[in-house]
Amino acid sequence: MIRLAHAEYLYALGAIPLLAVLFWLLLRYRKTALKKMGELAILLRLSESTSMAKRVVRFGVLLGAIAFLIVGWANPQIGTRLQEVKQEGVDIFIALDVSFSMKAEDIKPNRLEKAKLEIRSLISRLAGDRVGLIVFAGDAFTQFPLTTDYGAAGLFLDAVDTDVVPTPGTSIGAAIKRSLQSFDFKEPSTKVLVIMTDGETTEGDAFEAAKDAAEKGILIYTVGFGSPTGTPIPIYNASGVQVDFKRDKEGNVVVTKLDETSLERLALVGKGVYFRGTNSQDELQEIYKNINSLQKREFGVKQFTDYENRFQYFIAAGILLLLIELLISEKRSRWIARWNPLREKEEVKI
Protein backbone atom coordinates (compact mmCIF):
# COMPACT_ATOMS: atom_id res chain seq x y z
CA MET A 1 0.00 0.00 0.00
CA ILE A 2 1.32 3.44 -0.92
CA ARG A 3 0.46 6.63 0.93
CA LEU A 4 1.80 10.16 1.28
CA ALA A 5 2.84 11.38 4.71
CA HIS A 6 2.14 14.99 3.68
CA ALA A 7 -0.23 14.84 0.72
CA GLU A 8 -1.07 18.54 1.15
CA TYR A 9 2.41 19.44 -0.14
CA LEU A 10 1.41 18.21 -3.60
CA TYR A 11 -0.52 21.45 -4.06
CA ALA A 12 2.89 22.99 -4.81
CA LEU A 13 2.88 21.06 -8.11
CA GLY A 14 0.41 23.68 -9.31
CA ALA A 15 3.38 26.05 -9.65
CA ILE A 16 4.88 23.96 -12.47
CA PRO A 17 2.35 24.86 -15.20
CA LEU A 18 2.58 28.49 -14.04
CA LEU A 19 6.35 28.42 -14.50
CA ALA A 20 5.88 26.87 -17.96
CA VAL A 21 3.49 29.67 -18.94
CA LEU A 22 5.91 32.32 -17.63
CA PHE A 23 8.75 30.74 -19.64
CA TRP A 24 6.64 30.80 -22.81
CA LEU A 25 5.69 34.44 -22.20
CA LEU A 26 9.35 35.28 -21.67
CA LEU A 27 10.27 33.72 -25.03
CA ARG A 28 7.52 35.70 -26.72
CA TYR A 29 8.68 38.91 -25.06
CA ARG A 30 12.26 38.22 -26.17
CA LYS A 31 11.12 37.65 -29.75
CA THR A 32 9.07 40.87 -29.71
CA ALA A 33 12.02 42.81 -28.30
CA LEU A 34 14.31 41.45 -31.03
CA LYS A 35 11.85 42.57 -33.73
CA LYS A 36 11.99 46.10 -32.38
CA MET A 37 15.79 46.09 -32.57
CA GLY A 38 15.97 45.19 -36.25
CA GLU A 39 15.40 42.45 -38.84
CA LEU A 40 14.57 39.32 -36.87
CA ALA A 41 16.21 36.86 -39.30
CA ILE A 42 19.50 38.80 -39.20
CA LEU A 43 19.50 39.02 -35.42
CA LEU A 44 18.82 35.30 -35.13
CA ARG A 45 21.69 34.67 -37.54
CA LEU A 46 24.00 36.79 -35.41
CA SER A 47 22.96 34.90 -32.25
CA GLU A 48 23.29 31.51 -33.95
CA SER A 49 25.62 30.24 -31.21
CA THR A 50 22.61 29.96 -28.83
CA SER A 51 20.28 26.98 -29.29
CA MET A 52 16.62 27.64 -28.60
CA ALA A 53 15.91 23.88 -28.49
CA LYS A 54 18.55 23.38 -25.79
CA ARG A 55 17.10 26.26 -23.80
CA VAL A 56 13.65 24.62 -23.88
CA VAL A 57 15.09 21.20 -22.98
CA ARG A 58 17.06 22.73 -20.10
CA PHE A 59 13.98 24.41 -18.70
CA GLY A 60 11.97 21.18 -19.06
CA VAL A 61 14.64 19.31 -17.07
CA LEU A 62 14.43 22.02 -14.39
CA LEU A 63 10.64 21.61 -14.15
CA GLY A 64 11.09 17.83 -13.83
CA ALA A 65 13.57 18.35 -11.00
CA ILE A 66 11.14 20.63 -9.17
CA ALA A 67 8.34 18.05 -9.58
CA PHE A 68 10.48 15.24 -8.12
CA LEU A 69 11.58 17.44 -5.19
CA ILE A 70 7.96 18.33 -4.38
CA VAL A 71 6.86 14.67 -4.44
CA GLY A 72 9.83 13.80 -2.24
CA TRP A 73 8.80 16.62 0.11
CA ALA A 74 5.37 14.95 0.42
CA ASN A 75 7.23 11.79 1.55
CA PRO A 76 5.75 8.74 -0.27
CA GLN A 77 5.57 5.71 2.02
CA ILE A 78 5.04 2.03 1.30
CA GLY A 79 3.27 -0.31 3.72
CA THR A 80 5.48 -3.27 4.45
CA ARG A 81 3.56 -5.29 7.01
CA LEU A 82 -0.12 -6.22 7.05
CA GLN A 83 -1.53 -7.24 10.43
CA GLU A 84 -4.95 -8.06 11.76
CA VAL A 85 -5.71 -5.45 14.39
CA LYS A 86 -8.28 -6.46 16.98
CA GLN A 87 -11.12 -4.04 17.64
CA GLU A 88 -14.35 -4.35 19.52
CA GLY A 89 -17.64 -2.63 19.08
CA VAL A 90 -21.31 -2.75 18.13
CA ASP A 91 -22.79 -2.80 14.63
CA ILE A 92 -25.06 0.24 14.26
CA PHE A 93 -27.26 0.99 11.27
CA ILE A 94 -28.98 4.39 11.22
CA ALA A 95 -32.14 4.58 9.11
CA LEU A 96 -32.69 8.23 8.16
CA ASP A 97 -36.02 9.44 6.84
CA VAL A 98 -35.45 11.67 3.77
CA SER A 99 -39.09 12.17 2.80
CA PHE A 100 -40.13 15.75 2.03
CA SER A 101 -41.91 16.09 5.38
CA MET A 102 -38.45 16.09 7.00
CA LYS A 103 -37.98 19.60 5.56
CA ALA A 104 -40.48 20.96 8.11
CA GLU A 105 -38.91 23.58 10.37
CA ASP A 106 -40.56 22.89 13.72
CA ILE A 107 -37.02 21.78 14.68
CA LYS A 108 -34.26 24.16 13.57
CA PRO A 109 -32.93 24.46 10.96
CA ASN A 110 -35.26 21.64 9.87
CA ARG A 111 -35.96 18.04 10.85
CA LEU A 112 -33.54 16.52 8.33
CA GLU A 113 -30.61 18.82 9.09
CA LYS A 114 -31.07 18.33 12.84
CA ALA A 115 -31.00 14.55 12.30
CA LYS A 116 -27.84 14.80 10.17
CA LEU A 117 -26.21 16.99 12.81
CA GLU A 118 -26.85 14.33 15.44
CA ILE A 119 -25.50 11.58 13.17
CA ARG A 120 -22.29 13.58 12.61
CA SER A 121 -21.97 14.04 16.35
CA LEU A 122 -22.45 10.30 16.89
CA ILE A 123 -19.84 9.39 14.25
CA SER A 124 -17.31 11.72 15.90
CA ARG A 125 -17.70 9.79 19.20
CA LEU A 126 -17.48 6.26 17.81
CA ALA A 127 -14.40 4.22 18.67
CA GLY A 128 -14.35 0.71 17.23
CA ASP A 129 -18.09 0.50 16.57
CA ARG A 130 -19.10 -0.04 12.96
CA VAL A 131 -21.72 2.32 11.57
CA GLY A 132 -23.82 2.24 8.40
CA LEU A 133 -26.52 4.49 6.97
CA ILE A 134 -29.83 3.62 5.32
CA VAL A 135 -31.89 6.38 3.70
CA PHE A 136 -35.58 5.88 3.10
CA ALA A 137 -38.71 7.54 1.81
CA GLY A 138 -41.16 5.46 -0.24
CA ASP A 139 -38.29 2.97 -0.63
CA ALA A 140 -35.02 2.35 1.21
CA PHE A 141 -31.38 2.25 0.08
CA THR A 142 -28.05 1.69 1.80
CA GLN A 143 -26.13 4.98 1.63
CA PHE A 144 -23.00 3.30 3.01
CA PRO A 145 -22.49 -0.16 4.58
CA LEU A 146 -21.09 -0.91 8.02
CA THR A 147 -17.67 0.67 8.33
CA THR A 148 -15.10 1.99 10.79
CA ASP A 149 -13.94 4.58 8.25
CA TYR A 150 -15.69 7.45 9.97
CA GLY A 151 -14.20 10.07 7.63
CA ALA A 152 -15.76 8.42 4.57
CA ALA A 153 -19.03 7.98 6.48
CA GLY A 154 -19.13 11.74 7.10
CA LEU A 155 -18.62 12.47 3.39
CA PHE A 156 -21.50 10.16 2.40
CA LEU A 157 -23.69 11.76 5.07
CA ASP A 158 -23.04 15.24 3.65
CA ALA A 159 -24.53 14.13 0.31
CA VAL A 160 -27.86 13.11 1.87
CA ASP A 161 -30.93 15.19 0.99
CA THR A 162 -34.58 14.62 0.18
CA ASP A 163 -33.77 13.87 -3.48
CA VAL A 164 -31.52 10.82 -2.83
CA VAL A 165 -34.58 8.51 -2.79
CA PRO A 166 -36.74 9.08 -5.90
CA THR A 167 -39.81 7.25 -4.55
CA PRO A 168 -42.09 9.57 -2.51
CA GLY A 169 -43.74 8.49 0.72
CA THR A 170 -42.46 7.21 4.06
CA SER A 171 -41.87 3.48 4.40
CA ILE A 172 -40.28 2.66 7.75
CA GLY A 173 -40.96 -1.00 7.00
CA ALA A 174 -38.74 -0.80 3.90
CA ALA A 175 -35.93 0.69 6.02
CA ILE A 176 -36.16 -2.16 8.55
CA LYS A 177 -36.18 -4.77 5.78
CA ARG A 178 -33.13 -3.10 4.22
CA SER A 179 -31.29 -3.40 7.54
CA LEU A 180 -32.13 -7.12 7.64
CA GLN A 181 -30.41 -7.43 4.26
CA SER A 182 -27.43 -5.31 5.32
CA PHE A 183 -26.49 -6.86 8.67
CA ASP A 184 -24.21 -9.91 8.59
CA PHE A 185 -26.01 -12.46 10.77
CA LYS A 186 -23.11 -14.91 10.47
CA GLU A 187 -21.19 -12.69 12.89
CA PRO A 188 -22.19 -12.93 16.57
CA SER A 189 -22.30 -9.18 17.06
CA THR A 190 -24.67 -6.87 18.88
CA LYS A 191 -26.80 -5.27 16.19
CA VAL A 192 -28.60 -1.96 16.63
CA LEU A 193 -30.96 -0.13 14.28
CA VAL A 194 -31.68 3.54 14.98
CA ILE A 195 -34.66 4.93 13.05
CA MET A 196 -34.75 8.73 12.72
CA THR A 197 -38.06 9.94 11.30
CA ASP A 198 -41.18 12.00 11.90
CA GLY A 199 -43.12 8.74 12.08
CA GLU A 200 -45.64 9.44 9.34
CA THR A 201 -45.74 5.94 7.91
CA THR A 202 -47.60 5.86 4.62
CA GLU A 203 -46.17 2.70 3.07
CA GLY A 204 -45.73 -0.95 4.16
CA ASP A 205 -46.13 -2.70 7.50
CA ALA A 206 -43.42 -1.39 9.80
CA PHE A 207 -44.50 -3.40 12.85
CA GLU A 208 -44.26 -6.77 11.12
CA ALA A 209 -40.80 -5.84 9.85
CA ALA A 210 -39.80 -4.72 13.36
CA LYS A 211 -41.00 -8.03 14.77
CA ASP A 212 -38.87 -9.96 12.24
CA ALA A 213 -35.86 -7.81 13.11
CA ALA A 214 -36.33 -8.34 16.85
CA GLU A 215 -36.54 -12.11 16.35
CA LYS A 216 -33.13 -11.94 14.65
CA GLY A 217 -31.65 -10.05 17.59
CA ILE A 218 -31.71 -6.49 16.22
CA LEU A 219 -32.37 -3.81 18.85
CA ILE A 220 -34.50 -0.98 17.45
CA TYR A 221 -34.25 2.57 18.79
CA THR A 222 -36.45 5.30 17.39
CA VAL A 223 -36.02 9.08 17.35
CA GLY A 224 -39.03 11.18 16.45
CA PHE A 225 -38.61 14.63 14.90
CA GLY A 226 -41.37 17.20 14.69
CA SER A 227 -44.42 18.50 16.46
CA PRO A 228 -47.41 16.31 17.39
CA THR A 229 -49.68 19.28 16.63
CA GLY A 230 -48.33 19.56 13.10
CA THR A 231 -46.61 22.18 10.98
CA PRO A 232 -46.56 23.11 7.25
CA ILE A 233 -43.60 22.31 5.00
CA PRO A 234 -42.00 25.43 3.48
CA ILE A 235 -40.93 25.50 -0.17
CA TYR A 236 -37.93 27.58 -1.22
CA ASN A 237 -36.80 28.74 -4.65
CA ALA A 238 -33.27 28.39 -6.03
CA SER A 239 -32.24 31.62 -4.26
CA GLY A 240 -33.25 30.26 -0.88
CA VAL A 241 -36.33 32.46 -0.58
CA GLN A 242 -39.53 30.85 0.74
CA VAL A 243 -42.23 31.05 -1.91
CA ASP A 244 -44.98 28.83 -0.52
CA PHE A 245 -45.89 25.80 1.57
CA LYS A 246 -46.37 22.28 0.25
CA ARG A 247 -49.96 21.74 -0.87
CA ASP A 248 -52.07 18.71 -1.73
CA LYS A 249 -53.92 18.14 -5.01
CA GLU A 250 -56.83 20.26 -3.79
CA GLY A 251 -54.52 23.19 -3.02
CA ASN A 252 -54.68 22.83 0.74
CA VAL A 253 -51.52 23.37 2.79
CA VAL A 254 -50.12 20.03 3.94
CA VAL A 255 -49.55 19.76 7.69
CA THR A 256 -47.04 17.15 8.83
CA LYS A 257 -47.35 15.71 12.35
CA LEU A 258 -45.04 13.63 14.51
CA ASP A 259 -46.55 10.19 15.13
CA GLU A 260 -45.07 9.40 18.54
CA THR A 261 -47.44 6.53 19.22
CA SER A 262 -46.14 4.50 16.27
CA LEU A 263 -42.51 5.21 17.09
CA GLU A 264 -42.97 4.23 20.74
CA ARG A 265 -44.61 0.99 19.64
CA LEU A 266 -41.78 0.26 17.16
CA ALA A 267 -39.18 0.73 19.89
CA LEU A 268 -41.19 -1.53 22.20
CA VAL A 269 -41.40 -4.28 19.57
CA GLY A 270 -37.67 -3.89 18.87
CA LYS A 271 -36.75 -4.02 22.60
CA GLY A 272 -35.25 -0.56 22.37
CA VAL A 273 -36.17 2.95 23.53
CA TYR A 274 -38.01 5.87 21.92
CA PHE A 275 -36.57 9.40 22.09
CA ARG A 276 -38.28 12.65 21.18
CA GLY A 277 -36.14 14.92 19.00
CA THR A 278 -35.66 18.45 20.33
CA ASN A 279 -33.76 21.57 19.35
CA SER A 280 -31.40 21.41 22.32
CA GLN A 281 -30.79 17.74 23.15
CA ASP A 282 -28.62 15.28 21.23
CA GLU A 283 -30.79 12.19 21.28
CA LEU A 284 -28.20 9.99 19.57
CA GLN A 285 -25.81 10.75 22.42
CA GLU A 286 -28.30 9.26 24.84
CA ILE A 287 -28.73 6.24 22.58
CA TYR A 288 -24.96 5.81 22.36
CA LYS A 289 -24.67 5.82 26.13
CA ASN A 290 -27.26 3.07 26.14
CA ILE A 291 -25.41 1.17 23.40
CA ASN A 292 -22.10 1.39 25.28
CA SER A 293 -23.60 -0.66 28.08
CA LEU A 294 -24.23 -3.51 25.64
CA GLN A 295 -21.88 -6.42 25.20
CA LYS A 296 -19.43 -5.62 22.41
CA ARG A 297 -17.92 -8.22 20.12
CA GLU A 298 -14.31 -8.41 19.03
CA PHE A 299 -13.46 -8.40 15.34
CA GLY A 300 -10.31 -8.19 13.26
CA VAL A 301 -9.45 -5.51 10.77
CA LYS A 302 -6.59 -5.84 8.26
CA GLN A 303 -4.32 -2.83 8.53
CA PHE A 304 -0.83 -1.87 7.41
CA THR A 305 1.12 -1.21 10.61
CA ASP A 306 4.63 -0.46 9.27
CA TYR A 307 5.49 2.07 6.58
CA GLU A 308 8.88 2.81 5.02
CA ASN A 309 9.80 6.23 3.69
CA ARG A 310 10.61 6.50 -0.01
CA PHE A 311 11.20 10.26 -0.23
CA GLN A 312 14.95 9.77 -0.74
CA TYR A 313 14.46 8.28 -4.21
CA PHE A 314 12.48 11.28 -5.40
CA ILE A 315 14.88 13.76 -3.81
CA ALA A 316 17.81 11.96 -5.45
CA ALA A 317 16.08 12.05 -8.85
CA GLY A 318 15.39 15.77 -8.39
CA ILE A 319 19.02 16.52 -7.49
CA LEU A 320 20.23 14.45 -10.44
CA LEU A 321 18.02 16.43 -12.83
CA LEU A 322 19.32 19.68 -11.33
CA LEU A 323 22.89 18.54 -12.04
CA ILE A 324 21.90 17.59 -15.59
CA GLU A 325 20.28 21.00 -16.03
CA LEU A 326 23.54 22.68 -14.97
CA LEU A 327 25.53 20.59 -17.45
CA ILE A 328 23.28 21.35 -20.42
CA SER A 329 24.84 24.20 -22.41
CA GLU A 330 22.66 26.58 -24.37
CA LYS A 331 25.36 26.86 -27.04
CA ARG A 332 24.47 25.40 -30.42
CA SER A 333 26.33 22.21 -31.34
CA ARG A 334 27.91 22.77 -34.77
CA TRP A 335 27.69 19.15 -35.84
CA ILE A 336 23.97 19.19 -35.03
CA ALA A 337 23.52 22.51 -36.80
CA ARG A 338 24.90 21.04 -40.03
CA TRP A 339 22.07 18.53 -40.08
CA ASN A 340 19.40 21.09 -39.14
CA PRO A 341 16.95 21.23 -42.11
CA LEU A 342 15.80 24.68 -41.06
CA ARG A 343 19.30 26.13 -41.24
CA GLU A 344 19.37 26.33 -45.05
CA LYS A 345 15.95 27.94 -45.16
CA GLU A 346 17.04 30.61 -42.68
CA GLU A 347 20.17 31.34 -44.76
CA VAL A 348 18.12 31.62 -47.96
CA LYS A 349 15.67 33.95 -46.23
CA ILE A 350 18.50 36.18 -45.05
Q: What is the pLDDT of residues 232-241, one digit of tens each?
A: 999 999 888 9
Does residue 99 form part of some domain?
Answer: yes
Regarding whether 285 and 165 lie in a shared domain, the answer is yes
Read off the pLDDT of residues 24-58 as tens digits, 9 standing for 90 and up: 998 888 777 666 665 655 555 555 556 777 888 88
Residues 65, 109, single domain; the answer is: no
Same domain, 21 and 65: yes
Instruction: Write the CATH number for 292.
Output: 3.40.50.410
Residue 223 has pLDDT above 90, yes or no: yes
**Which residue range forms the structural domain that includes residue 16?**
2-75+310-349
Lowest mean pLDDT, pick from 67-81, 103-117, 268-282: 67-81
CA distance 99 to 103: 8
Is 95 within the bounds of a domain? yes
Q: Is there a domain that residue 305 lies in? A: no
177 in the same domain as 41: no
What is the C-alpha separation between 97 and 133, in angstroms, rounded?
A: 11
232 with 137, same domain: the answer is yes
Percent of residues, the chain, with pLDDT higher than 90: 47
State the pLDDT at residue 194: 95
Sign of the dihedral through C-alpha 218, 220, 221, 224: positive
Residue 304 in domain: no
Please report whether residue 338 resides in a domain: yes
Would 57 be classed as within a structural domain? yes
Q: Is the pLDDT of residue 308 over 90?
A: no
pLDDT attached to residue 158:
93
Question: Is residue 290 domain-shared with residue 315, that is, in the same domain?
Answer: no
Inter-residue contact 172 to 185 (CB < 8 Å): no
291-304 pLDDT per residue, tens: 777 655 555 555 55
Does the pLDDT of residue 346 top 50, yes or no? no
Calculate the CA 263 to chain-centre distance.
32
pLDDT tens by residue, 53-87: 788 888 999 999 999 999 999 988 886 665 555 55
* Residue-wise pLDDT tens digits, 154-163: 999 999 999 9
Do residues 208 and 342 both lie within one domain? Answer: no
Q: State residue 28's pLDDT score.
A: 82
Check residue 185 and give its pLDDT: 87
The answer to whether the CB of 138 falls within 8 A of the CB of 168 is yes
| Confidence at residue 83, expressed as pLDDT on a 0 to 100 scale | 58
Closest CA to 103 of 163, 171, 154: 163
pLDDT at residue 142 in the model: 95
Which residues have CB under 8 Å from 346's CB, separation 6+?
A: 41, 44, 45
pLDDT in tens, 136-195: 999 999 999 999 899 999 999 999 999 999 888 889 999 999 999 999 888 778 899 999
**pTM score, whole prediction:** 0.61
* CB proximity list for 186: less than 8 A, separation 6 or greater: none
Mean pLDDT, residues 267-283 taken together: 89
Interacting residues of 25 by C-beta distance below 8 A, sequence separation 6+? none
Let me know if residue 80 belongs to a domain. Answer: no
> Could you tell me if 229 and 198 lie in one domain?
yes
Residue 335 has pLDDT above 80, yes or no: no
- DSSP letter (8 states) at residue 335: H
Residue 38 belongs to some domain of the structure: yes
Task: Please indicate, yes or no, whether residues 257 and 218 belong to a single structural domain of this protein.
Answer: yes
Residue 231 sits in the same domain as residue 256? yes
200 and 164 assigned to the same domain: yes
How many independent structural domains does the chain possess?
2
Same domain, 108 and 190: yes
Residue 348's pLDDT band, with cuts at 50, 70 and 90, is very low
Q: What is the pLDDT of residue 19?
A: 92
Q: Which of 299, 326, 341 is the last residue of a domain?
A: 299
